[in-house]
Amino acid sequence: MNIREIAKRARVSHSTVSRVINQVETVDPKLVRRVQAVIQEVGYRPNFQARALARGRSHTVGLIVSELSGGNPFFSEVILYFERAAVEQGYEVLISFADTETRPDHVAVCAARMQERQVEGIAALTFGMEEQLANSAIDVPMVYAGADHDLQGVRNVRINYLPGFRDAIKHLKDFGHERIGYLSGQMSWSSMKTRFEGFRKAMKLAGAPFEKELVAECDHTWDGGAQGISMLLNLPKPPTAVLCCNDVAAVGALKTLAARGLQAGRDIALVGFDDLTICRFTQPALSTIQFSPRELASLAFRALLEEIQEVQKKTSLEYKTRFILRESTCAPRA
């Protein structure tokens, strides 16, 4: 079924059908209803992609994420909410996973492939891997998130880690905790290093003593969290409270605590990071520092759309983390 066949059934010219599909306001409303009735009757779906490309517009944007492996749902949620925001504005999303473990320059490769497919802009939510794009030949609008520093000509959604860490540590201090530990992801990851620096700065602002032995560097995975909390519990004088680099590591820590007959919120205070949906369903419900995939994705798409549309007055790009109190914190045991 094509436009000419639609026109024949509706008893109008094919140009009238074209104007109806393109929502031209000057078409007689009676003709609009007649054409739309035929389109609905036959189930015709216009090839918007072909028409957009003919006009030099693809109405497609690229999204590069840095991690989908290991069972971490964070980036899955980023993809979901980014695509929802894009679809609301009439855009399709081309998604790519930057597998830098097997190919260090894979972020740049992903961006180049997207440009070949005529995307109108690219959001690289890769948290520290965007440096690969600094000297690339990508000439479409780009948006980063959590980059260590602003790169010329690129919007960067700045992540302010301090408010969430500050309020979490204040909460623990008010409970009476003095030995506060931290489960850190691998410091070779820019995002993990930045979160750790946020933790250290918040500890200093709260007047809480920072002890290097209370920091366990581990993988930011379920298994990594389980192993990291074991390292801290095996210390001669373990921490009475532990903050984690992400919720996945915190859930891994919950498993180790249960295996040892311990419970967060009773025997030790535990705080995650990200506020994934799973936090509300753990036992106990996990207190966490909110770094919302929904808000991050929405902010990143809004910034990218402003770049594509060359908006003069642009949205301020800073995401502030915040502490979410649930049931996994408590006062230190005697």
Q: Where are the domains of the chain?
A: 3-46, 60-158+293-318, 162-292
Q: Band of the pLDDT at 86, cuts 50, 70, 90?
A: very high
- Return the pLDDT at 165: 97
- Return the pLDDT at 139: 83
Instruction: List residues bridging with 55 in a β-sheet.
Output: none
Phi, psi dihedrals of residue 129, rounded to the nearest 5°: -95, -5
Q: What is the Cα 102 distance to its own chain's centre? A: 22
CATH number of this structure's domain 3-46: 1.10.260.40
Instruction: Find the range with the poorest average confidence among 22-36, 81-95, 229-243, 275-289.
Output: 22-36
Pairing of strands 287-290, 322-324: antiparallel
The correct answer on CATH 3.90.1150.10 for the domain covering 162-292 is no
User: 279, exposed or middle or buried, with CB in 10 Å at 0-12, 13-18, 19+?
Assistant: buried
Residue 270 confidence (pLDDT) above 60: yes
Integer CA distances (angstroms), 86 to 98, 235, 248, in order: 21, 49, 27
d(CA 8, CA 161): 61
- Report the percent of the chain where pLDDT is more than 70: 88
- Return the pLDDT at 304: 93
Q: Tell me how crowded residue 209 is: count the other CB atoms within 10 A of its CB.
A: 11
- Return the pLDDT at 69: 59
- Of 252, 171, 194, 167, nearest in space to 218 by CA: 252
The correct answer on CATH 3.40.50.2300 for the domain covering 60-158+293-318 is yes
d(CA 79, CA 58): 20
| Average pLDDT of the residues in 19-46 | 82
Matching fold, domains 60-158+293-318 and 162-292: yes
